[in-house]
Structure 1
Amino acid sequence: MDLFIVKSKKVESFYPLHFFRKIADLRTGILTNRKRYSAIYNAQPVFIDEIPEKLTKGLYFFENFINYEKINAGDNTILVNNGEIVGYYIISPIRKDEIQESVTVEGFKLNYGFDIIKFLPHTILKDFKLLDKHRLTDGFDFSGNEKDIYIGENVNIIGKTYLNADSGPIYIDDDVTFKGVNFIEGPCYIGKSSIVDSAKIRPGCSFGKVNRISGEIEHSLFLDYVNKHHDGFIGHSIVGDWVNLGALTTNSDLKNNYHNVKMVINGKTIDTGMLKMGTLIGDFSKTGIGTLINTGTVMGISCNIFGGNVTDKFYPSFSWGNSSTIYSFEKAIDTIRITMGRRDVNLNDKTVEILRNVYKKERG
């Protein structure tokens, strides 16, 4: 049976994480949803922009719906979760409006980028079970079940690293280097070729490839090539590709009045429904030393935030220092090119085009 992943109707609700990737290709645990469904069904998903009026044989899921239950219905069936259509199971060609059967399926739908944080520890745990890899090598002190730890190939330890799998599994990918003294609590994923240097990693963290990780991090998602190689706290946050966090950058993830955190998404103030939520930082953004990030702050792409005061709650893309000053496009591109070159990656024309389009849209 063919497997289809359908573009979400709420892509822009994932601001600022949606510019350079499909939601299906946004890591939401150890895996992206595309890789997750591929592993569950042993098939390569085909991405489509919308559900066709006439459906061919296959299994269809919206890209922002996460499900670990292997679906096997007996007839053409609408898949429903919390009263919303999240997919279709089709055994023979049929028009969409002719399907009579429906079934409730387990899982959860991501409506906003911050919803990833809500489910992150759970998805790391479920992805670990799905991958079903277990391997502990010499050099690590650990507590918990050895079967809840996976250590990849060519992992290097310079110093002392303690793994605590009592609260969840720990997956360390290939070519990771540990320096200094590190304490890591599961559930946790550390991506390929990352460097962990004198870090305190609390439960519920997922780090992408080629990250630099120091200081204290809790319940957060770092995408790829993130540089947090200094002290400071990041909690309940999502940090995009190529973000650099200056020394002692720290975010708040809890309001003093213990009310739900609200975030500004596409000009609207949205209640996250969470008591703890930190910040969303778009790709290529940077913070200066000592930056204090307010609870629920949203930064667009290619922002350069500094000044030492507590930040504003929202920064449009290409902000310089504060939310009203515009970061020169040419200077931003020059800095991005240098940043990527330091990791032997070239800035391609497609990325420049996306950056230019966002600049025109948000900065005129």
Structure 2
Amino acid sequence: MSRVQRILIDEREILPGLKALTRVRSFSEIRDGILTPLERLRAQYPDGKIFYKHSIPEFERSFLERNPKILIHEGQDVDLILSPEEFLPWKLIEGTGRSIEQDIDLNKELRKWIKKLKVKSGDFQIVGKSKHLHVHPSASIFPGVVIDVTSGPVIVDKDVKITSFTFLEGPLYIGPGTRIDNARITGGTTIGQACRIGGEVGESIILDYSNKHHEGFLGHSLIGSWVNIGALATTSDLKNNYGVVKILEEGIECNTGSIKFGSIIGDFSKIGIGVMLNTGAVIDFGCNVVSSRIGGYIPPFSWVNGEPYILDHFLRDSRKIMARRNRELSSSEAELIRVLYETKVRK
């Protein structure tokens, strides 16, 4: 491990299944455990130099702006290449539990507060050994919460709030500032920063600032950032004939190799109240979905009536949404969104 000195994140070719999730982020920035693949690389190879390559110059600039210590790849020899093939959504979901357990040992910050948990009589209930529950001192867990660590650890990060009548099963990671209300969350799930989660969630990855705050089932799915899933919206993650799930993205069919796979929902997309998402549905970036049943592939910036979301309206609405979480759309993100719009909508 120590002999790896030069690492390349090669994103010149994005495979079907990842495109909807990598419009404004690298596949290496998708949090599939406590850490992202990029953070995991840095923890595993602290002395290694990381290089990056993307086929779109605007994307490359944006990535390097977010990660200033990473170098642009200009043909240098490397010892290790990180490429999208191993980070397809169904592979990430399948490996989330293992990643969470691996990341406990890699996360130095977690080790600082891992032993500070004290559970008093009358507080929440732990099923299994309490050493597998890691709660940041600033987190708040109400009475009436049940946390089951018999199948894997549960990690509750800083400023998380978990209210009564919630059931949590490991392996599970809940990111900083997230709120969990009256939820049932089963193992193999990771939830990002400042999310709002309720209802039933199982074996899914939810990225930062997304909401699924009401009743409805989300299973074996990967959800981008700034997504809002309305009350009673539900994913199907198993076909009636128990067949292998295939997805369609930009006209290309892809076999997941699994009978259990739900949906992919790209950043800034909104799923209306009571929408039923068929097995393998892919909702791309910036969509507004309100039809009662959705399947197949929905292209970027699709609006309610099938017409495109007007770009200026999308940017205005996105800034308004982000301001509610004290965030701003950076100039490089806005430029990436404009490039995507020009490429996919005005082509």
Asked whether the two chains share a fold, i.e. TM above 0.5, the reply is: yes
Shift of 1:63: 4.5
**Residue aligning to 1:104:** none
Q: In 2, distance between residues paired with 1:45 and 1:162?
A: 43
Q: Please say if 1:335 is aligned against 2:297.
A: no
One-letter amino acid of the counterpart of residue 38, structure 2? R
**Residue aligning to 2:302:** 319
Q: Tell whether the 8 Å contact from 1:33 to 1:63 is kept in structure 2 after alignment.
A: no
1:216-227 alignment runs, 5 A limit: 216-227=200-211
Q: In 1, distance between residues paired with 2:179 and 2:79?
A: 39
Q: Tell whether the 8 Å contact from 1:121 to 1:203 is kept in structure 2 after alignment.
A: yes
Q: Residue by residue, what CA displacement relative to the aligned partner does 1:219-251 show, whole Å, maximum 9, x if unpaired?
A: 000000011111111000011000011111111
Q: In 1, distance between residues paired with 2:76 and 2:137?
A: 47
1:43-54 alignment runs, 5 A limit: 43=47, 45-49=49-53
Q: In 2, distance between residues paired with 1:203 and 1:129?
A: 19
Q: Tell whether the 8 Å contact from 2:184 to 2:201 is kept in structure 1 after alignment.
A: yes
Q: Please say if 1:40 is aligned against 2:21.
A: no
Q: In 2, distance between residues paired with 1:209 and 1:333?
A: 22
**Residue aligning to 2:31:** 27
Shift of 1:115: 2.3
1:164-313 alignment runs, 5 A limit: 164-307=148-291, 309-313=292-296
Of structures 1 and 2, the larger Rg is shown by 1
Shift of 1:54: 5.7
Q: In 1, distance between residues paired with 2:259 and 2:34?
A: 24
Q: Tell whether the 8 Å contact from 1:37 to 1:45 is kept in structure 2 after alignment.
A: no
Q: Residue by residue, what CA displacement relative to the aligned partner does 1:197-238 show, whole Å, maximum 9, x if unpaired?
A: 111001111000001010000000000001111111100001
Instruction: Report the number of matched residues.
Output: 316
Shift of 1:64: 4.1
- The structure 2 residue matched to 1:5, chosen from 5, 8, 14, is 8
Q: Tell whether the 8 Å contact from 1:137 to 1:151 is kept in structure 2 after alignment.
A: no
Secondary structure class of the residue paired with 2:218: strand
Kindly tell me: are residues 45 and 32 of structure 1, through their superposed partners in 2, closer, same or farther at Cα, counting changes over 3 Å?
Answer: farther
Kindly tell me: are residues 12 and 271 of structure 1, through their superposed partners in 2, closer, same or farther at Cα, counting changes over 3 Å?
Answer: closer
Q: Tell whether the 8 Å contact from 2:250 to 2:297 is kept in structure 1 after alignment.
A: no
Give me the CA root mean square deviation: 2.0
Q: Tell whether the 8 Å contact from 1:180 to 1:198 is kept in structure 2 after alignment.
A: yes
Q: Residue by residue, what CA displacement relative to the aligned partner does 1:173-212 show, whole Å, maximum 9, x if unpaired?
A: 1110112311000000000010011110011110000010
Q: In 1, distance between residues paired with 2:9 and 2:336?
A: 22
Kindly tell me: are residues 348 and 54 of structure 1, through their superposed partners in 2, closer, same or farther at Cα, counting changes over 3 Å?
Answer: closer
Normalization by structure 2: what TM-score? 0.85
Q: Please say if 1:363 is aligned against 2:339.
A: no
Q: In 1, distance between residues paired with 2:136 and 2:267?
A: 27
Normalization by structure 1: what TM-score? 0.81
Q: In 2, distance between residues paired with 1:175 and 1:46?
A: 31
Q: Tell whether the 8 Å contact from 2:280 to 2:295 is kept in structure 1 after alignment.
A: no
Shift of 1:289: 0.8
Q: In 2, distance between residues paired with 1:30 and 1:45?
A: 22
Shift of 1:27: 1.2
Q: In 2, distance between residues paired with 1:349 and 1:54?
A: 30
**Residue aligning to 2:82:** 62
Secondary structure class of the residue paired with 1:215: strand
Moved more, 2-11 or 205-214: 2-11
Shift of 1:362: 1.5
**Residue aligning to 1:83:** none
Structure 2 unmatched runs, 5+: 55-72
Structure 1 unmatched runs, 5+: 66-108
Q: Residue by residue, what CA displacement relative to the aligned partner does 1:293-342 show, whole Å, maximum 9, x if unpaired?
A: 111000111100003x21131100111126x4322222222211111011
One-letter amino acid of the counterpart of residue 320, structure 1? W
Shift of 1:9: 4.4
Q: Tell whether the 8 Å contact from 2:246 to 2:253 is kept in structure 1 after alignment.
A: yes
Higher helix share: 2
Higher RCO, 1 vs 2 (CA within 8 Å, ≥6 residues apart): 2
One-letter amino acid of the counterpart of residue 18, structure 1? T
Q: In 2, distance between residues paired with 1:146 and 1:159?
A: 16
**Residue aligning to 1:127:** 103
Shift of 1:52: 6.4
Q: In 1, distance between residues paired with 2:13 and 2:290?
A: 31
**Residue aligning to 2:62:** none
Q: In 1, distance between residues paired with 2:37 and 2:164?
A: 34
**Residue aligning to 1:90:** none
Q: Tell whether the 8 Å contact from 2:12 to 2:53 is kept in structure 1 after alignment.
A: no
